[in-house]
Amino acid sequence: MHDILSKSMMRSRLLSARAALGADTRAAAARSMRDELLAVPEVEMGGTIAAYVSIGDEPDTRSLLFALWKRGAYVLLPLLLPDGDLDWASYEGPDSLAPGPRGLLQPTEKPRGPGAVASADVVLVPAVAVDRTGMRLGRGGGSYDRALARVGPAILTVAPVYDAELVDVLPAEPHDQRVRAALTPSQGLVRFA
């Protein structure tokens, strides 16, 4: 209970700070994160990248998605299921997206099933914050805790966050899944041991 309370307090504090970032900071962050990620070896070689379309104040992933697709990667995007779990379908360019629940933009291609994330070589995971052990704070639905539980131990899982969102320690519950790296505007890809 203690950790659930501190999670929601941290979430609202971090999201307020994120909302206060200026447009220039956001645009510069999106560019540098895209370029850093495109140069990561697992991404350069990866045939399949599971990613997500950023919404609201999240670090912008849209030009990254476009670049991956142009490069010929197979990009999978999530579809939120009624029970909070995630299904996956392929991204076929900016015109292959449609509005979904909770303000999400979702793929319009045929869903491949929740297990499809296990076929990805790299998984991008949205996060409100990540700590130095890879513990991740999401929006509170647990969708990515479920999805990440299906991803093998050798797969690079990356949470793109703004600089102040790579923090020393986050509260953790038993169901929480770690990511193996953070991607920040100033430090690029930060791998966790």
Q: Shortest Cβ distance from residue 10 to Mg ion (Å)?
A: 12
One-letter amino acid of 175: H
Q: Residue 109's binding partner, choosing from ligand ATP, Mg ion, none, with beta-carbon cut-off 5 to 8 A by kind?
A: none
Q: Is 87 in the site for ligand ATP (CB under 6 A)?
A: no
135 phi, psi to nearest 5 deg? -65, 140
Residue 136 assigned as binding residue:
yes
Helices 62-71 and 23-38, packing angle to 10 deg: 30
Q: Is 145 in the site for Mg ion (CB under 5 A)?
A: yes
Give me the torsion for CA of 60, 144, 149, 125, rounded to 10°: 10
Q: Between residues 34 and 136, which has the closer beta carbon with respect to ligand ATP?
A: 136
State the sign of the Cα–Cα–Cα–Cα dihedral 82, 127, 93, 45: negative
Is 122 in contact with 46 (CB distance < 8 Å)?
yes
Question: Which listed range, 15-23, 106-114, 141-149, 162-170, lies at the site for ligand ATP (CB under 6 A)?
Answer: 141-149
What is the contact mask toward ligand ATP in residues 154 to 173, using x (rule: CB under 6 A)? -------------------x
Residue 9 assigned as binding residue:
yes
Contact with ligand ATP (CB under 6 A) among 141, 163, 186, 187: 141
Show the tokens assigned to 123: 């998984």
Q: Between residues 10 and 38, which has the closer beta carbon with respect to Mg ion?
A: 10
Contact with ligand ATP (CB under 6 A) among 135, 146, 170, 180: 146
Q: In 3D, which of 31, 34, 52 has the Cα closest to residue 43?
A: 34
Is 120 in contact with 50 (CB distance < 8 Å)?
yes
Spatial distance between the Cα atoms of 9 and 99, rounded to a whole number of angstroms:
29
Residue 72 assigned as binding residue:
no
What is the contact mask toward Mg ion in residues 161 to 190, using x (rule: CB under 5 A)? ---------------x--------------
In Å, what is the CA distance from 13 to each residue of 3, 7, 17, 18, 188? 15, 10, 6, 9, 24
Contact with ligand ATP (CB under 6 A) among 142, 167, 178, 188: 142
Binding residues for ligand ATP, per CB under 6 A?
7, 137-146, 149, 173, 175-176
